[in-house]
Chain A
Amino acid sequence: MDDRDLLLKARQGDVDAYAELVRRYSEIAFQTAYLITRDAAEAEDAAQEAFVKAYYALDRFRTDAPLRPWLLRIVANQARNRRTRMSRQASLRLRVTVSSQETGSFLPSPEAAALGLEQRQLLLEALESLREEDRLVIIYRYFLELSEAEIAEALGCARGTVKSRLSRALARLRQRLAPEAQPKPRGELRSSDDD
């Protein structure tokens, strides 16, 4: 049964049909929430709350529109609300088990391959230091691999602006990575950026 059939059933109050949709989108919803809150328990709560909210909002959803970005938008809103209220602001972490030598050959360019673990950590920190708006568009594109149309729906912006938003975000990320910007990648600047 495809999403649309399940959706139509769910709209008529079929909770099991909706549960099947939830099962399909649990993973990406949780990951989205985690990438925003950086806390597994908060992410789970945010995703769950978002699914419940979405269920009661189903009648406002156009059935011919894609479901995934609409759900993600609700999830992201929940996650952002939670993040601003959290007392511990954790950061994303890298798994250190992956050896760069082992997988380096899959990378498309030698320059990227040269990016060692330490530098990837710096890349992550630079990403974390970006404004929420910039970080989210990068997360959607590269971590959750959404299409431009999906990103537009998830961010609630016009489709035409996704490209420019993304390139602005990448430019600012690159700025943070510039050597002169590196002495203070975190600290006071960061919290004011988040707000």
Chain B
Amino acid sequence: MTEQRWPARDEDLEAALARLREELDLPPAPDLSGAVRQRLLEGQRPARPWWAVLVTPRGRLAVTLLACALLAALMIGLWPAARSAIAERFGLPGIEIRVVASPTPAPATSTAETHATPTAPTVPGTVPAPTPVSPLFLGTEMSLEEAQRHVPFRILLPVALGPPDAVYLDETRPVSVVTLVYRPRPPEIPASQMTGVGLLVMQFQGSPDEPVFAKGVGPESVIEPVTVRNGPGYWIAGGPHILILRTPSGEWRDQQRLAGNTLLWVNRDLTLRLEGNISKETALLIAESME
């Protein structure tokens, strides 16, 4: 340990870095002039973030006018129709987001009650085990390895959370859906009021033509476009919304629970869905850590 392994002086560390540069495996640099020239001639402007529209005077005017129009639509009761038109553009591969008049699930439970009474405890140790989620129609419980053998894609795991507490595979839908279940980890990840679990992470290879899920979103919900590692996504929060499942035998609304806050996003060929009573920040942090 007393051996001098690293250059003692700054000049030597600098020399080591300069030498390291020589040995880096750098791919050959392409000449970009042709491609850039082509893009400029075609007048392709660089991609701008969606909010960049706010910076230009014309954009600000357009946004203001749009806001006024939406407000007007809301006031004369056209809001659901407007939302529906917007929501149609909200689809991700395998998922469509649909506005429903009332996303209240089972007739037995009133929405007001379910939201007013936090039934699940948020103390570690007293929280329910993941087993109660089986009635949520997540499919068959199995080990991660076994689920991996059944699906054609590599199952992504949230590095931020570690291995899941349970894994389900549903092969009864048009595509195989893997669901990772995590126990609550308060305070960031409290137990869901409806299911007692902390988080559900679903993933499948979605196709834009054949939605497997539809989200039924009530008028109070906020649908916010987000980006997760280069992939498009939506954060849905602020109001009750339900999951509508599509199975080969038809479509039915999830009667078991209201979905918690939900992050839907696309990572290469996978569509993912993260659900729990978590903040947008926590959801994005977890989603970004999926490897």
Whether a CB of chain A sits under 8 angstroms from the CB of B229 is: yes
Residues in B neighbouring A47, C-beta threshold 8 A: 32
Cβ distance B288 to chain A, nearest Cβ, rounded Å: 8
Contact with B along A152-185 (1 / 0, CB 8 A): 0000000000000001001001100111000000
Given A86-B230, A109-B7, A174-B13, is A30 in contact with B37 using a C-beta cutoff of 8 Å? no
**Which residues in B have their C-beta under 8 angstroms from that of A120?**
16, 19-20, 23
B contact residues around A56 at 8 Å (CB)? 45-46
A189 at the interface (CB under 8 A from B): no
Contact B20 A87 (CB under 8 A): no
Is B113 close to A, CB under 8 A? no
Q: Chain B, interface size: which category?
A: 35 or more
- Please give the number of chain A residues whose Cβ is less than 8 angstroms from any Cβ of chain B in the complex: 58
Q: Give A41-79 interface residues, CB cut-off 8 Å to B.
A: 43-44, 47-49, 51-53, 55-56
Partner of A179, one of B1, B32, B289: B1
Contacts of B44 in A (CB 8 A): 52
* B46→A49 contact, CB < 8 A: yes
User: Does B41 have its Cβ within 8 Å of any Cβ on chain A?
Assistant: yes
Q: What does the 1/0 interface line of B146-180 toward A look like (CB < 8 Å)? A: 00000000000001000000000000000000000
The 9 A-B pairs of least Cβ separation, nearest first, read: A85-B230, A23-B33, A19-B37, A30-B29, A142-B17, A27-B29, A22-B33, A40-B27, A19-B33
Contact residues of B with A, CB < 8 Å? 1, 4-8, 10-27, 29-37, 39-41, 44-47, 159, 227-231, 267-268, 288-291
